[in-house]
Structure 1
Amino acid sequence: MKDLGPLKYFLGIEVARSSAGLFLCQRKYTLDVISETGLLGAKPSGFPIEQNHKVGLAKGEFLADPESYRRLVGRLIYLAVTRPDLAYSVHILSQFMQAPRVEHWEAALRVVRYLKGTAGRGILLSADYDLTLEGWCDSDWAACPITRRSLTVFCRGQI
């Protein structure tokens, strides 16, 4: 066994330490995803998925190469480890891994364009936090066009 010093990079996750706590991000991994999709020169998107999207109701052509979609969504799933802002978009996109359509591919590329403008974002694990997990989202009664279920939630808990 060899001591390599303080952790700085592990499995694509960059770790920065300070008195405020630990900052985890995947900037290099994000740039690799953007580069792999060929969107380095694309205009960034302000948000990862459109509000009131109809991705679940897509009726377009099936992708000729579904493997590229699966690879991209798989990379986005791993990226969501340090990017909670991607959780909803990646959840929606991962529902169509079996038979992705052109609309699904375009929605995935929009997420990548969003990443282009937010490559350095991550999670700060604060040194002086009381470990209360909170989350919220506006209510959207029956917004899922497939199941007619609500897609939002509020939760609060003590860890």
Structure 2
Amino acid sequence: MSLPPGYSITGDTGNVCKLKKAVVRVKAVSSGWFGRITTAMKKFSYQQANTDHTLFIKHRAGKVTLLIIYVDDMIVIGDDTAKIEELQKCLAFEFEIKDLGSLKYFLGVKVTRSKHGLFLSQRKYVMDLLANTRMLDCKLADTIIVENHKLGVYVDQVLTNKERYQRLVRIFIYLSLTRLDIAYAVSVAIQFMHSPSDDHMAAVMRILSYLKSAPGRDRHSTSGYFTFVGGNLVTWCSKKQNVVSRSFAEFEYRWIAQGVCEIQWLRWLLAEIGFRPDAATKL
């Protein structure tokens, strides 16, 4: 490796560089790996979905097999048992993989099966977060954010640890996948990622206190949209608008437009999988 600018060593002095960060180019590595798995899946006669490039599909005799991947974690699902077993063998031959059996955890999300279907929860993710931030013994908060808060960027604000603030907010963004009740508070915290103050950090710590009061709670937010397929909730969104609406009607139309985009994407995705909608979708 090359020495950093400003350093020069002549002769064999035995000096080495002490690394404070990993020097692997993560984006390049993940891109190369995804290219390899894509080539392999196409060799196995799977088609890459146009609506989601991490999804691979195979149809046979009216049945379907699906594989979706995130970096090196993947889920295989479908109603073609023979093709699922065949895919597992092909992957094991091509790569060193570990079969974890029925889906229980995926990227911090717990999957529980019952007669009513699948239940997704990030309760363990919340408890691990509270333990890592030493907030397991914190005082509980009944509300997630102070009513009529005055959070903003002010000249005389006292700055806080920017790296810690950004890390916590990014965790909350991922947590809001199943915890829609924190979506608004997270959208407020995101606005101050560039210059967080002690007041902003206090608001973030309040989110942690709220999560401690109910680590498994899952309530619907009041604005945004959610979509159902066959009576099952499959996608949802709740966030603060990035522009100011002139009226409540304009606000509604903006979210209607967002909902239409989501519906259109879902209809394309279902058609690729093999379940082409045969009627209009209610909005």
Normalising by the smaller structure, the TM-score range is: 0.7 to 0.9
1:82 aligns with 2:148: no
For the residues of structure 1 that align with 2:175 and 2:143, how far apart are their CA atoms?
16
Asked whether the 8 Å contact 1:26–1:122 carries over to 2, the reply is: no
Q: Cα RMSD between the aligned structures?
A: 3.4
1:60 aligns with 2:135: no
CA offsets, 1:139-158, max 9 Å, x none? xxxxxxxx8768x9666763
**Structure with more relative contact order (C-alpha pairs < 8 Å, separation 6 or more):** 1
Identify the residue that residue 138 of structure 2 maps to in structure 1: 42
Identify the residue that residue 129 of structure 2 maps to in structure 1: 33
Offset of residue 135 of structure 1: 9.3
Unmatched runs of 5 consecutive residues or more in structure 2? 1-87, 89-97, 220-227, 260-281
Partner of 1:111, secondary structure, is: helix
For the residues of structure 1 that align with 2:101 and 2:234, how far apart are their CA atoms?
31
Query: Alpha carbons of 1:135 and 1:35: their partners in 2 closer, same or farther (altered >3 Å)?
Result: closer
Asked whether the 8 Å contact 1:24–1:122 carries over to 2, the reply is: no
CA offsets, 1:54-78, max 9 Å, x none? 1125552011x21010111111111
Offset of residue 43 of structure 1: 1.3
Q: How does 1:101-140 map to 2 (within 5 A)?
A: 101-122=197-218, 129=231
Query: Alpha carbons of 1:7 and 1:70: their partners in 2 closer, same or farther (altered >3 Å)?
Result: same
For the residues of structure 2 that align with 1:71 and 1:87, how far apart are their CA atoms?
16
For the residues of structure 1 that align with 2:196 and 2:101, how far apart are their CA atoms?
44
Alignment length (residue pairs): 147
Read off the aligned partner of 2:231 and give its amino acid letter: Y
For the residues of structure 2 that align with 1:149 and 1:103, how far apart are their CA atoms?
27
Offset of residue 36 of structure 1: 2.1
Asked whether the 8 Å contact 2:153–2:195 carries over to 1, the reply is: no
Read off the aligned partner of 1:121 and give its amino acid letter: R
Structure 1's consecutive aligned runs of 4 or more residues displaced over 2 angstroms after TM superposition are 1-6, 56-60, 126-136, 147-150, 152-159
Partner of residue 9 from structure 1, selected from 97, 105, 110 = 105
Offset of residue 44 of structure 1: 1.1
Read off the aligned partner of 2:111 and give its amino acid letter: V
For the residues of structure 2 that align with 1:132 and 1:6, how far apart are their CA atoms?
20
Q: Which has the larger radius of gyration?
A: 2
Read off the aligned partner of 1:74 and give its amino acid letter: R
Identify the residue that residue 72 of structure 1 maps to in structure 2: 168
For the residues of structure 2 that align with 1:127 and 1:56, how far apart are their CA atoms?
40
Q: TM-score, normalised by structure 2?
A: 0.45
For the residues of structure 1 that align with 2:129 and 2:234, how far apart are their CA atoms?
32
For the residues of structure 1 that align with 2:215 and 2:151, how far apart are their CA atoms?
24
CA offsets, 1:83-107, max 9 Å, x none? 1101100000011111101100000
Unmatched runs of 5 consecutive residues or more in structure 1? 137-146
